[in-house]
Structure formats: C-alpha cells, structure tokens
Amino acid sequence: MKKEINKKELEYWKNLWSKGGMDFIACENFWNGRAESFNQNLKDKEKKTNLLIDSLEDRKILHSKAKVLDIGCGPGTHSIPMGKKCEEVFSLDISENMLKILQGKAVKAGLSNVNPMKINWVDINLEEKNWYKKFDLVFASMSPAIHNYETLTKMCDASSGYCYLSAWVKRQSAVEDALFNLVNKKAGVTGILEDKIYYTFNILWNMGLYPEVSYNERNWKSAQPLDEAIESYTNKLLIKNELNNEDRLVIKDNLKKIALDGMIHEESVAVTGHIIWKV
C-alpha cells in the first residue's frame, strides 16, 4: 500500500537534484577506455554480485519468467548472471567497448536471451519502445545513467514490479581527490560525497513508495600506465567538470610527477548505497 504523495516535498527534491549536469561524451570516452581493465577486475566482485542475485531470486524479484532491464550494464557484471535465471534481459550502455565484452560473455555462456543495446537512457521514449511497465525488474548498478529526477522516475515507469539502484555515497581516492582539488582550486578536500542515494530515497519516499536502503564499504587498489591514466582521469573529471587547456596540463603534469616506473597507482575506499523498491 502506497503512502500519500507529498507534492511539495517532491518538487523540492526534484529541483535540488536537477542542479549540475553531465557530459555524456566524456562519460562514453571514459568507459570505452576503461572497459578492458574494468572487466579484468570483476573477479574480486563476483562473490558480492552472486549474493545480490541470490537475494533477488530468494525474494522472487528475479525468476524464470522475469523480464529485466539493466541500465548501464557495463561488461555484463549483472546481466550475465541474471540472464541465467530469468526469461530475458535488455542490457543498455553508452560504451560500445563494454557491450562488445558483454556480447562475448553471452555467447560463451550460451545465452540468447541477453540483448545488448548501445543507447543512452536519457534518449529512450518508453511509449515508443513499448517499454512502459514492461519489466519485472529495472536494474541500475553504479550507473551514471540515473542522474536526476527524470531518469529515476523513468525507471519506475518502465517497471511493473521492482527497481534496484546502487551508487556511491562517499569515495576517497588519493590521486583522483588531489586532481579534483587542483582543477577546482580547492585545498584539503578528502573524498567526494555523492548525493544520488540521498536524492533517490527522498524522491521515492515522497512519491508514496517504501524504498529499502542498505550500505556497504569496499576498498581496492589499481594501477594504470601513465598515458592511459592521463586520458582516463581527464575523461572522468570531464564528466562533471569543465576543463580548460590549463586544467588538462595540470592533470598531465601532476600525474607525471607521481608516476612510478611509468605507472599510476591508486588506492580507494568507498561506501556504496543500495536501494530496492516496489513500484
């Protein structure tokens, strides 16, 4: 049973989340460049992925007759295991390189029910695609595609059952934080706070829904060749920041200074939030 919709509060959170933008070209470039290395690092996440899939199956959210929409599917981290348990998965991403990896995994696993699609969630018209209330589960794990009120509520409109969303709550990455401070002329900022879970909960709550929230911590180390790191960090910062030529030079010069044997080493600590709700 839904609660009463609070239109005043809903409008407040809608407007608050609408501030700030995203450069989808930079986002696509970033993930195309990271596709191979990101996929190689997935083995460390398999246990958590399987626990999530098992949990969705135990709750009957994921089942043999279910149709699933995976928004920002990446290299198939969740699309492949969900495809083994449900009727059909539509896997969306803006990164062609990610989708190529996903397609290869689907073929290797003998899955003909996983449908990779290169498309931006923003551009999809649910009515035109006949996707309104089509899916038993609409899934968005750590996906930049969900970035405002409109992209969130479109998830609800596509679902006839449940939605799942996960996102960063806080991230601390030594190299990335330092570069962020340099291009934004800030000093001493440690860690980047993310508001997606905060906004999502409040919007859903004021829509009359009952979102379930959980959190977990994770940490990891990574390494990239210097040239790849310069391109990767630049593209990542471009997603939500305007960079001039001076900023780009600052990024390049500072990465050169900290490179060890031609490699950039990063250590990250983060908290992620997870929300499940019934529409």
pLDDT bracket for residue 2 (50, 70, 90) = low
For residue 117, which of 88, 145, 84, 95 has the smallest C-alpha distance?
95
Half-sphere exposure of 107 (CA within 13 A, CB side): 6
Residue 245 included in any domain: no
138, 113 in Cβ contact below 8 A?
Answer: no
Span 13-32, average pLDDT: 86
Phi–psi pair at 182, nearest 5 degrees: -65, -45
- Supply the CATH number for residue 58's domain: 3.40.50.150
Q: What is the pLDDT of residue 109?
A: 96
Average pLDDT, the chain: 92
Yes or no: say if 258 and 208 are a contact pair by the CB < 8 Å rule: no
Whether residue 93 is contained in a domain is answered as: yes
- What residues pair up with 71 in beta bridges, in sequence order? 92
Q: In the predicted model, what is the mean pLDDT of residues 151-176?
A: 95
How many other β-carbons are positioned within 10 Å of the β-carbon of residue 201? 19
Structural domain contains residue 262? no
What percent of the chain is modeled with pLDDT above 90? Answer: 76
Query: pLDDT tens digits for 46-101?
Result: 888 999 999 999 999 999 999 999 999 999 999 999 999 999 999 999 999 999 99
Give the residue numbers spanning the domain of 36.
7-171+192-225+271-278
pLDDT band at 254 (very low <50, low <70, confident <90, very high): very high
In this model, does residue 44 exceed pLDDT 70? Answer: no
Closest residue by Cα to residue 115 from 102, 128, 101, 129: 102
Give the predicted TM-score (pTM) of the model.
Answer: 0.88
Element (H, E) at 103: helix 96-108
Measure Cα distances from 135 to 145, 147, 148 in Å. Answer: 18, 21, 21
Residue 263 lies in a domain: no
- Is residue 81 situated within a structural domain? yes
Q: Return d(Cα 151, Cα 166) in angstroms, integer.
A: 14
Q: Is residue 1 part of a domain?
A: no
- Neighbour-count burial for 16-51, b at 16+ CB within 10 Å, e otherwise: ebeeeeebbebbbbbbbbbbeebbeeeeeeeeebee
Q: Please report whether residue 184 resides in a domain.
A: no
H-helix or E-strand spanning residue 92: strand 88-93
Give residue 39's pLDDT: 87
Q: How many domains does the chain have?
A: 1
Residue 2, domain member (yes or no): no
